[in-house]
Amino acid sequence: MADGGLEAAGERQGREIVALDLSIRPLCELMRCVVFHLLICAFALVGGHSAAGEESRPLNVVLIVADDLGWTDLSCYGSDLYQSPHLDQLARDGVRFTANYSACTVCSPTRAALLTGKYPARLRVTDWIPGLPPSNPKLTVPDFTKHLPLEERTLAEVLHEAGYATASIGKWHLGGPDFYPEKHGFDLNVAGTDQPQPRPGYFAPYAIDTIEQGPKGEYITDRLGVEAVEFIRANADRPFFLYLPHFAVHLPVQAKKKLIAKYQARVHEGMNHANAAYAAMIDSMDQTVGQIRNTLDELGIAERTVIIFTSDNGGRIPTSSNAPLRAGKGSCYEGGVRVPLIVYWPGVTPAGLEIDAPVITTDIFPTTLAMTGQTIENKASLDGVSLAPLLRQDGTIADRDLFWHYPHYQHYQLEGTTPYGAIRRGDWKLIEYYDGAPAELYNLREDISEKHNLAATERDRVKELGAALAAWRAAVGAQMPAPNPNYDPSKPEHQPKSTAPPAVKAAT
C-alpha cells in the first residue's frame, strides 16, 4: 500500500477510536458513580448502623413482673396512697388494660404460663411450688409438676434462637438448679432460685447463691434495677430480652426507712390503702422502671424497645386492699386474679389508650412474638392469643372464654379457697367448687365486687358454662383432686391463722 493510503487508513482508524471513546464515555461515568455509591454504602455498614439497619433490627423486649401486686396498687389503677410515677408514665405512653387476668391465683403457675403461653392446667404446674395442703383435706390434691418442664419451649428460647441476648433477673420459683433459667433459654440468671421470696429478706447480706453478695443493708429491689441496667448497657448493640421478675411486693413487708416515713406522712383516715411500708416497696420497684427507661433513652434505643409490665396474681390482703374487687391472692374471686397490665410498643401503641377486653397471662407469649416478628411451630399448642391487633388498633381478637383450674387449697390467705375451676365468658363468671359446694355465678359488668350470686336464678347459664368448663378441662388434660379416704368430718380441714398484717422491717 502506498504511503498516502497508509496515512488515510490511520486517520480513519483514529476517527473510529475517538468515536468509540465518545460512545462509551457516558457508560464509564455511570460505572464510576455506581462504584462510588457502593463504596459509600460499604463504609456506612462497616463504620456504623445504617438507618435501614436500625429500622430492620428486631425490637428489644423488657418484661417486668411484680410479685403479688394487686389490681389497684398503682396510682394509674386508682391507689389513693401508693405512688408509681414511672409506671404511670409508661401507661400514659402506652396501653393500660383494665380487665387483665393472671393465669392463676398464686405465683408459680402464672410464671410458667407467662413463659410458655400455656394454661397451668395444660402444664400441670397448678400450685405454688411446692405447695402447702391442709392437715385434714376433704380432697387429696393432684401430684402436680413442681418445676417448669425442660421440654416446654419458652419465650426466652424462641428469642435466644433468633439472636437475642437473654437475661432473667429476679425471682424464678419454677424448680431447682436443674430447671433454673439457664436451662430455659436465658444466658444470664441473677437471683433466680427455687425460693418464693428473697432470703432471708430484702436487705443484704442475702442467702441467695445466684447473686453476688451486696454490701450490708443493700436493698435487693434496688440491686435488681442495677443489674437490669448493666445488662441493657452490655447488650445495647444487639437485640435483647430482659425478664425482670421482681421479688417486690411479696412478703416479708420490708422497705427503706426514708420511704416508709414519706408514706407515713401521707396516710390519713378513710384511705383505701394505708400501709406505708408496702407503699415504700412499690415506690422502690417503680424507681427501677424509671432507671431502665432513662437508660434506654440515654443509649438511643428506647424507640425500639417494647416494655411490658404485669403481676403474677392479685394483691395479698390484709397487707393491701383490692377494693372494689373481692378478696385477694389465693382466692377464686376477682381480687385473686385481676391484675395490672401495661404495654408500651414504641411508634405503634396509641398513647394513653385503655382497653377493657378480657385478656390473660398466656396472651403475653404470642403477643411478644408478634411484636418482634418471631414465629413458633405448633401454634395450636398455645392457649394465649396475640393482642397485637388491639395494641395497633387495627383489629380485634375473637370472642373467647377464659379459664382457671386450681385443684389445691389456699387456707393461709384471707378468704382463701378450696379446689375450684372458673370460666369467664363475656360479662359472666362461673365458679365451680370441686368439693361439692354450690356453684357461684356473677355478672362482672354489673357486679365487679361479686356480691350477688346469680346461680339460683340463672340455672341454664350455670349449666352451659359448667359444660364448657368441663370440656376445657378434658381438652387440656387437667388433673383433678380425689376424695380423701382419711378425711375426718368432725375436724376442720385446716386451722385458720391470724389475719394480722405481718411485721414490718425497715432499713437500719
Q: How many CA atoms lie within 13 A of 28 on its CB side?
A: 6
Class of domain 405-483: alpha beta
pLDDT of residue 89: 98
pLDDT of residue 229: 98
Phi then psi dihedrals of residue 152, to 5 deg:
-75, 140
Domain with CATH 3.40.720.10 in the chain: 59-400
Q: CA-CA distance, 202 to 506, in Å (whole number)? A: 10
The total of other beta-carbon atoms located within 10 Å of residue 477's CB is: 10
The type of residue at 484 is N
pLDDT of residue 270: 94
Rounded to the nearest 10 degrees, the angle between the axes of helix 257-264 and helix 276-298 is 120
Cell triple for residue 304?
425500639
List alpha helices for 342-487, DSSP H: 364-372, 388-392, 459-476
b/e per residue 414-432 (b: at least 16 CB within 10 A): bbbbbbbbbbbbeebbbbb
- 59-400: which CATH number, 3.20.20.70, 3.50.30.30, 3.60.21.10, 3.40.720.10? 3.40.720.10
Instruction: Work out the end-to-end distance of the chain between its first and last CA atoms, rounded to an integer number of angstroms.
Output: 114
**pTM score, whole prediction:** 0.88
Cell triple for residue 165?
441476648
Q: CA-CA distance, 107 to 204, in Å (whole number)? A: 24
pLDDT of residue 499: 46
DSSP 3-state of 225: helix
CA-to-CA separations, 186 to 74, 280, 377, in angstroms, rounded: 29, 30, 20
The total of other beta-carbon atoms located within 10 Å of residue 52's CB is: 10
b/e per residue 311-335 (b: at least 16 CB within 10 A): bbbbbbbebbbbbbbbbbbbbbbbb
Q: CA-CA distance, 215 to 204, in Å (whole number)? A: 6
pLDDT of residue 262: 98
Q: CA-CA distance, 257 to 277, in Å (whole number)? A: 9
DSSP 3-state of 465: helix
pLDDT of residue 377: 78
Mean pLDDT in order along the chain per 10 residues (508 residues): 41 41 42 39 36 67 98 98 98 98 98 98 98 94 98 98 98 98 98 97 98 98 98 98 98 98 96 97 98 98 98 97 98 98 97 98 98 85 96 96 97 91 98 97 98 98 98 98 96 67 54
pLDDT of residue 25: 43
What one-character DSSP code corresponds to residue 431?
E
Domain with CATH 3.30.1120.10 in the chain: 405-483
Q: Which helix (H) or strand (E) holds 342?
A: strand 341-344
